[in-house]
Structure 1
Amino acid sequence: MSDRTRVYITVDVECAEERMGEGRVKPPIGYDVRVWGRLVNQREPLGIERIMRELEACGLRGTFYMEALGARYFGVSKLREICTALRSRGHDVQLHMHPVQRVADFMSRGESRAPDDIAAYTEAEQVALLMEGRSLLAEAGVPESEIVSYRAGNFGASNAIWGAMKQAGIALSSNYNPCYFSKNCRMRLNEPALGLFRSPESGVWELPITNFTELRGGYRHLQISAVSVGETIKCLRRYRALGVREVTLVTHSFEFFFLDEPERRRGRPNQINLERLRGLCRYLQQHADEFEVDTVGALGQRLLRGEETARPVRGAYPRLGPLPYARRLAEQALKRVAQRVSFK
């Protein structure tokens, strides 16, 4: 086995259900806008097509966690178009679910909102959801044998997800995220595990979202829209120095553009997030002797064949210095200003 640190660039791909805003119900946002980023005032799509191009320019491949249940509302044919495009270009498609999107127009129907965190369901219900999601991906052209990993919407899983996944025949979870402990993630360990580990209850593998300790306390995960390039690179180097074999980053299909007017399909690129993605890809390309960009699907297949084992590093999450943190604060402030300025 190579001594390079494996890096997993994961993209959560999803539509949006009805939401309240500006004193009214805002309609669902489907695949064309929320996933592809096909906007009437832009010459090129700004969503997954742009993400694929940035990865491919540096010879990299990503794992796209594709939300499946929304196909009940937004259409399986539209889901198939996305899965086909991703797989035809060598990218990895795995299972993501937001149960609320099965009936994305629930407010207009006068129905109650379904729980969106999978931890809110019984274990039997979780198994049924996992099997439904996998079946929908298969209907959209992803071979069931390739669907080896699952990520919960909102990272909203508990430890019970491991048992449910075992029953559903999905071997590799990517849900454990300390950054979301105060939000949706209910998964807990007696001792933190940095990198791939095997769940004590079921034997299902867990590929955790990479976190670091904030200067002011708490955790921050490696989400491209939430950290600076400097922080990401420093975290990569810290994890490598600690001997952690896997680093997992996350982003979303809609994080690389501002959606000014969803109903009129108007928006513009989010340049700061694009530069972060580009900077990360170039760094990984230039340091290929130390870091290997892998896909979660490939990892899952190796684990199932017994070609790889989990060797997590136990201990505290690393703390990064003040300079990358200061840059992040400045960038986030600039993004907030840019978001408020709508160019119509």
Structure 2
Amino acid sequence: MLNVFFTVDVEIWCGGWKNLDARFPQAFQQYVYGRTPRGEYGLRYQLKELRDHGLYGVFFIEPLFATRFGIEPLAEIIGLVQEYGQEVQLHMHPEWVDEAREPLLKNSEHKRQFMRQFSLEEQTILIAKGVELIEQANGGRVNAFRAGSFGFNRDTLHALEANHIPFDSSYNASMMGLESGVLPGQVLHDPVLCDGVVEYPMTIFDDGTGKHRHAQIGACSNLELEGLMQQALKNQRQSFVILSHNFELMNAQRNNGDLIMIKRFRRFCEFMAKHKTDFQMRGFQQLSSDTLSSHSTVLTSPLWKTVHRTVEQVLRRRY
């Protein structure tokens, strides 16, 4: 059986860094609920589909926006995730650090996009603040973390260990993973222990063009994801980590649902529900210290599936 981690990064963006207080109420509704003329296709829609199909997901929730707008919106997000029986974990976009009402760090006047741009001491402070905010919003104690935009480094792992967080899922070999300093010279495909933290890397694959791509609902077709999971099962991989976002079923303007994405997500849920004897959807809470395996070869997907996905992505522009 293959452990499948369906992970959703939950974030709110205001379309820029000016007039944040005026923009936030509408941005919150767009990103959290995704209300459109056709219905609601945001976070609650995803949660309902997972629950209705008997599936489990991990929701990495970004809490630093609460240092600007208060704990109530964060508590509303966490309450939604818990209402539908899904897992709350910690996500962090440090772009919010310089927007906090009260300084989080000594030097927080300028914007830094990635965790790796902060010192070990600063990262330790920020992660502690994230843990505190999640707990204040009734999210309980988290035990897993993902850095925003996968922009972490070895210091991040040390900061996690200092905060007693045993799991990380920030490594993405197709996006800055090789620059992270985690096991230099190796490409991670399966969980590995590094600096006291178990790293669960994003699943990547060769899409038939020689290019590495990570497994993401919004960037891979159903044909690709289904084939890759079956290949990982056959190859006795330990885990398969999939990425999504709370706004991923919306169009680029966040004012309408993306019908292709909605259909893709529903088919993914149907596939996972149908194949529960092969694929076990897991979270990090109560995750046992399984024997870590190691695979050095990347998963592959044939070129014709890449072409099929490319056509789908072009058609998505209609929405």
| Fold similarity call, TM over 0.5 | yes
Contact 2:173/2:188 (<8 A) preserved: no
Task: For 1:284 and 1:15, locate their aligned partners in 2 and report how far apart those are by CA, in whole Å.
Answer: 28
SS of the residue 1:296 aligns to: coil
1:322 corresponds to 2:316: no
1:270 corresponds to 2:255: no
Q: Give the CA deviation at 1:114.
A: 1.5
2:125 corresponds to: 128
2:53 corresponds to: 58
SS of the residue 1:239 aligns to: helix
Contact 1:70/1:101 (<8 A) preserved: yes
2:104 corresponds to: none
Task: For 1:196 and 1:186, locate their aligned partners in 2 and report how far apart those are by CA, in whole Å.
Answer: 15
Relative to structure 1, the CA distance from residue 310 to residue 17 in structure 2 (aligned partners, 3 Å threshold; closer, same or farther) is: farther
Question: Which amino acid letter does the alignment assign opposite residue 174 of structure 1?
Answer: S
2:68 corresponds to: 73
Contact 2:150/2:176 (<8 A) preserved: no
1:242 corresponds to 2:230: no
Task: For 1:240 and 1:103, locate their aligned partners in 2 and report how far apart those are by CA, in whole Å.
Answer: 44
1:282 corresponds to 2:270: yes
Which of 22, 27, 30 does residue 30 from structure 1 map onto?
27
Q: Deviations over 1:83-139 (max 9, x none)?
A: 112112210000001111245599xxxx96511200000000000000000100001
Question: Percent identity, aligned pairs only?
Answer: 25
Contact 2:237/2:295 (<8 A) preserved: no
SS of the residue 2:213 aligns to: strand
Contact 1:5/1:290 (<8 A) preserved: yes
Q: Deviations over 1:5-63 (max 9, x none)?
A: 11111100011145289xxxx94563222122135x45x42211110121122110211
Task: For 2:263 and 2:15, locate their aligned partners in 1 and report how far apart those are by CA, in whole Å.
Answer: 31
Question: Which amino acid letter does the alignment assign opposite residue 167 of structure 1?
Answer: A
Which of 6, 13, 17 does residue 16 from structure 1 map onto?
13
Task: For 1:168 and 1:20, locate their aligned partners in 2 and report how far apart those are by CA, in whole Å.
Answer: 30
SS of the residue 2:165 aligns to: coil
Q: For 1:177-196, list aligned pairs within 5 A.
A: 177-181=172-176, 186-189=180-183, 190-196=185-191
Unpaired runs of 5+ residues, structure 2, are 102-107
Contact 2:98/2:109 (<8 A) preserved: no
Contact 2:64/2:96 (<8 A) preserved: yes
Question: Which amino acid letter does the alignment assign opposite residue 228 of structure 2?
Answer: C
Q: Give the CA deviation at 1:288.
A: 1.1
Unpaired runs of 5+ residues, structure 1, are 303-307, 340-344
Contact 1:92/1:295 (<8 A) preserved: yes
Q: Deviations over 1:238-282 (max 9, x none)?
A: 11111111111011011111254x6xxxx1111111122111111
Which of 189, 193, 204 does residue 211 from structure 1 map onto?
204
2:105 corresponds to: none
The farther-off stretch of 211-220 and 120-129 is 211-220
Contact 1:151/1:175 (<8 A) preserved: yes
Question: Which amino acid letter does the alignment assign opposite residue 283 of structure 1?
Answer: F
1:230 corresponds to: 223
Task: For 1:105 and 1:124, locate their aligned partners in 2 and report how far apart those are by CA, in whole Å.
Answer: 18
Contact 1:71/1:102 (<8 A) preserved: no
Q: Give the CA deviation at 1:81.
A: 1.2
Relative to structure 1, the CA distance from residue 119 to residue 327 in structure 2 (aligned partners, 3 Å threshold; closer, same or farther) is: same
TM-score by length of 1: 0.83
Task: For 2:72 and 2:293, locate their aligned partners in 1 and report how far apart those are by CA, in whole Å.
Answer: 40
Structure 1 residue runs of 4 or more that deviate by more than 6 Å after TM superposition = none
2:318 corresponds to: 338
Task: For 2:8 and 2:69, locate their aligned partners in 1 and report how far apart those are by CA, in whole Å.
Answer: 19
2:137 corresponds to: 140
1:251 corresponds to: 244
Contact 1:68/1:133 (<8 A) preserved: yes
1:305 corresponds to: none
Q: Give the CA deviation at 1:309.
A: 2.5
